[in-house]
């Protein structure tokens, strides 16, 4: 089965690293990738965000086929890297660094 | 004049000279002793946390019979179980087995028709009563009616659940909330169907963290890339308060907001996430009803960001445009604590709403990074003993009131005295 829906083949190289299951994992992945990884992901995803939303509007949010779920997870990851790229211009908020003590112990549904 | 720390006249009173004066406080330095003294910490345990009503959560988290939450009150070595019974009533118990005192429920939350202790299998109904004892005949003098889970006083106000660890609370939750209850009653809790929780263990006194969330003076300095543009502008560069009011041990401050704040050109994804057209009409209507309450944005200025209301001792019940959110500050030792932030959202019904929520969560986490970035360093400075106290501005009046009230509760022989 395809990893992503038709028309999103350009995003395939990102699925393995960036299609994470929940908010905490996406937060971790952002810091694991470093600023170069974050920037590369952002540069590939940001121009596709509205296309991704248009596609995901056609599938039920609570019950997505797997290739749509991967696309959804990539879109969710874009929300996280946006903090680094569009807010801080660096990976973490100025003067801070990845802090494993900060735990998202309850996230939204669907994850 | 938007954004000036203008003191509004109080009815029937002379206009006070400052927010501090409004709360009956002077403007001198404020002692740091309760942030570093093990003796005062021990006294806080007995006189504050064992006497005050303590916030546990929202009723929506225990919506159905059998739904439960387990909350640790570490300063008192208490593990508290909040559970809705088959009869629909929400109760609190010590999560401690009457057999040989093992902790009964090991999950943080869930649903349980009955609770079973893992040590020897004693079981309990969700009203706390003892249900079954394996090999019961071998207990020769067991009074099962006295072997339910040990009860804890619980009261609910506007859907906010509080407990009291005193064997017999000296005052009811109503009396404890006092005039704050009159002020805040009827603020509609909106957007509660989806809650997200962020917890952080920190090496600092719980009040160091509490103090980080009740002033906007730090915002231009540590939140430069996140919320600075929302909480300040050229007219009010340091986010001076719009208002501060005091209600016995409780207080509220109202914070300035930059009504013109919008995403920049180089923030296309922020603009996508914050697109105002995402909000459904029913969400906007609920928000408008909630915003019309006199205690939400009390000065009713367009240039408003949020209100930070502190319910003594360790709850911030905050109000923003999209509803309420809470910060809890739980002491562990004199220089360790747990911070818990809870945000509420309407359940997302489409991908745009879901993306907005994910962006908001990522944003909250980064703002929390910024807020918590200084607290452990601050504790080290406090512990050095180099400074006797804090120099506090009018913008930090909530901290002044916090210390005043803590000292009052530490001195007071009775809760009634503390509340006077
Ligand atoms: S301690 Fe709970 S059953 Fe023995
Ligand atoms: Fe802050």
* B81, B95, B100: residue to mutate for ligand 1 pocket, most atoms within 8 A of CB: B100
Q: Which residues of A touch B370 (CB under 8 A)?
A: 93, 95-96
Q: Where do the structural domains in chain B lie, given as residue ranges?
A: 19-51+178-419, 54-168
Q: Domain range spanning residue A61?
A: 34-91
| Alpha-carbon gap, residue B192 to B190, rounded angstroms | 6
Q: B207-210 long-range contacts, Cβ below 8 Å, gap at least 24?
A: B207/B34, B207/B35, B207/B329, B207/B402, B207/B403, B207/B406, B208/B35, B208/B337, B208/B375, B208/B378, B208/B379, B208/B382, B209/B329, B209/B337, B209/B339, B209/B372, B209/B375, B210/B310, B210/B314, B210/B316, B210/B327, B210/B329, B210/B402
Structurally, chain A folds into a number of domains equal to: 1
Is A64 part of a structural domain of the chain?
yes
Instruction: ipTM value, please give it.
Output: 0.98
Please give the average per-residue pLDDT across B383-411, as a whole number: 97
Is A4 part of a structural domain of the chain?
no
Q: What is the CATH number of domain B19-51+178-419?
A: 3.90.380.10
CATH architecture of B54-168: 3-layer Sandwich (2.102)
Nearest CA to ligand 1 atom 3: B120
| Alpha-carbon gap, residue A47 to B169, rounded angstroms | 59
Is pLDDT of B118 > 60? Answer: yes
Chain B residue with the nearest C-alpha to that of A86: B267
Look-up of token digits 């009723």: B59
Q: What are the tens digits of pLDDT across the range A59-88?
A: 999 999 999 999 999 999 999 999 999 999
Computed on alpha carbons and rounded to an integer, the radius of gyration of chain A in Å comes to 14
pLDDT value of position B5: 45
Expressed in angstroms and rounded, the spacing between residue B102 Cα and the centre of ligand 1 is 6
Is A106 part of a structural domain of the chain?
no
pLDDT value of position B16: 63
Beta-bridge mates of residue B202: B337
Is pLDDT of B14 > 60? Answer: no
Is A73 part of a structural domain of the chain?
yes
pLDDT value of position B9: 47
- Is ligand 1 within 6 A of the CB of residue B120? yes
Is A61 part of a structural domain of the chain?
yes
B residues 354-383 closer than 8 Å to A (CB): 354-355, 357-359, 361-363, 365-370, 372-373
B residues 399-418 closer than 8 Å to A (CB): none
């Amino acid at each position: 089965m395809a990893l992503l829906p038709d028309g999103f083949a350009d995003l395939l190289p990102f699925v393995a690293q960036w299609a994470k299951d929940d908010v905490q994992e996406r937060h971790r992945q952002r810091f694991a990738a470093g600023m170069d990884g974050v920037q590369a992901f952002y540069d590939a995803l940001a121009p596709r965000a509205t296309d991704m939303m248009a596609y995901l509007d056609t599938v039920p949010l609570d019950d997505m086929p797997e290739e749509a779920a991967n696309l959804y997870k990539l879109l969710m990851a874009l929300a996280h890297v946006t903090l680094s790229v569009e807010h801080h211009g660096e990976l973490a908020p100025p003067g801070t660094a990845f802090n494993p003590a900060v735990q998202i112990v309850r996230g939204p549904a669907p994850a | 004049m938007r954004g000036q720390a203008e003191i509004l006249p109080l009815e029937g009173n002379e206009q006070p000279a400052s927010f501090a004066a409004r709360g009956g406080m002077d403007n001198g330095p404020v002692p740091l002793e309760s942030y570093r003294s093990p003796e005062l910490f021990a006294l806080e345990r007995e006189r504050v946390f064992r006497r005050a009503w303590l916030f546990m959560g929202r009723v929506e988290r225990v919506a159905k019979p059998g739904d439960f939450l387990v909350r640790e009150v570490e300063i008192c070595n208490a593990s508290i179980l909040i559970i809705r019974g088959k009869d629909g009533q929400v109760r609190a118990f010590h999560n401690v087995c009457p057999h040989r005192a093992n902790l009964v429920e090991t999950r943080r939350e869930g649903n349980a028709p009955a609770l079973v202790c893992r040590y020897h299998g004693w079981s309990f109904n969700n009203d706390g009563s003892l249900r079954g004892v394996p090999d019961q005949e071998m207990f020769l003098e067991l009074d099962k009616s006295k072997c339910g889970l040990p009860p804890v006083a619980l009261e609910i106000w506007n859907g906010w659940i509080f407990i009291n660890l005193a064997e017999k609370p000296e005052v009811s939750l109503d009396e404890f909330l006092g005039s704050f209850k009159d002020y805040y009653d009827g603020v509609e809790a909106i957007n509660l169907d989806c809650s997200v929780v962020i917890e952080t263990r920190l090496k600092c006194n719980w009040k160091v963290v509490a103090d980080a969330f009740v002033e906007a003076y730090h915002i231009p300095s540590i939140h430069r890339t996140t919320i600075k543009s929302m909480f300040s502008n050229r007219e009010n560069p340091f986010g001076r308060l719009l208002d501060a009011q005091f209600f016995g041990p409780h207080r509220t401050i109202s914070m300035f907001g930059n009504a013109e704040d919008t995403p920049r050109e180089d923030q296309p994804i922020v603009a996508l996430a914050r697109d105002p057209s995402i909000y459904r009409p029913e969400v906007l209507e609920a928000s408008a009803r909630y915003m019309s309450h006199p205690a939400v944005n009390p000065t009713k200025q367009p240039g408003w960001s949020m209100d930070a209301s502190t319910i003594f001792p360790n709850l911030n019940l905050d109000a923003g445009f999209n509803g309420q959110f809470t910060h809890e500050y739980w002491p562990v030792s004199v220089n360790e604590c747990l911070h818990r932030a809870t945000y509420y959202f309407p359940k997302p019904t489409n991908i745009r709403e879901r993306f907005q929520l994910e962006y908001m969560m990522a944003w909250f986490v980064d703002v929390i990074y910024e807020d918590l970035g200084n607290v452990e360093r601050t504790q080290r400075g406090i512990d050095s003993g180099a400074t006797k106290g804090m120099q506090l501005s009018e913008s930090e009046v909530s901290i002044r009131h916090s210390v005043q009230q803590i000292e009052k509760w530490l001195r007071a022989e009775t809760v009634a005295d503390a509340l006077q």
